[in-house]
Structure 1
């Protein structure tokens, strides 16, 4: 898996001391706590060092945390141990990973914008497929306006999200929330400063 230069770069970034995006859950994800009642199993996509997967486990969910970086997953396991929860870490190259069918009540994708349009399309399809009927998709990313801020995220315009793009990508789901806004982020050194954000909460039909 580390033959992929992109994955090697991420592994090198995660090898730094401390947690690149901090140890606390993403603020958008934390605001969805009320939606997690009665949910059992969650998938944290490209979960990196585990801050979001660990938080989901703290809410009582059975969490599978997938990422392509062994270094990040080692740190995720240590974070879970310090917090007194368990998560299942699965090393996954998302260019080839097989998405399970109807396996999760929640799928969370927080700043997974390393993916260009082709891979993104496959990932979005896989994320929907992985949800059980009635399952929730929780997605946060950057909008094109983020390029002017330069406070984190991809530098390729094609990797950024717009409301229209997300509505089209998840047209078969019930959109519960789709919001564009600017906010100050303080998530480690990786996401720091005023940021152009977009949040999506969608439910797979029963």
Structure 2
């Protein structure tokens, strides 16, 4: 069964074939806000589409199972909530500040999956991503600062889940930390954070 599932996956068209035009520097920067969220091997971090192979159904299932999003209205409501308050307001009680990065990463990840399953058009997805940029730029001055707040936001979120669940917990914090360190590693040429430096979003856009 595992071999059959693998063969089915390989038959799915590559995302790069459907979307061959490379993202501009600004577009890659915006997509990169969600780079910490998904550590799966099939995650794409250099396209608006969230996977390396086209799999609209996977995006649809994930939104429904993880976020109870099955319609455009539900998606719009969830994005609005993350943009306005998200999890960061509750995290403030423990941390003394609001880790916007955690909500921003989720916001961009959900937007990309919404695009993948057809709940958002490509233009609508880019508009959604642009809407979160001003708050992120006002709050952070580097990918390192962004990563630190993302890590802290995830830690509070995971601890809250652990108090209410005995099973089905997300990956340990150590796994998320290692992924963040990989993204921040200056020698990691595949890291989108190295491809699109933090300051790029404040400079004129350009092709890569």
Report which structure shows greater RCO (CA 8 Å, sep ≥6): 2
Between Structure 1 and Structure 2, the one with more strand by share is: 1
Report the TM-score when normalising by structure 2.
0.29
Between Structure 1 and Structure 2, the one with more helix by share is: 2
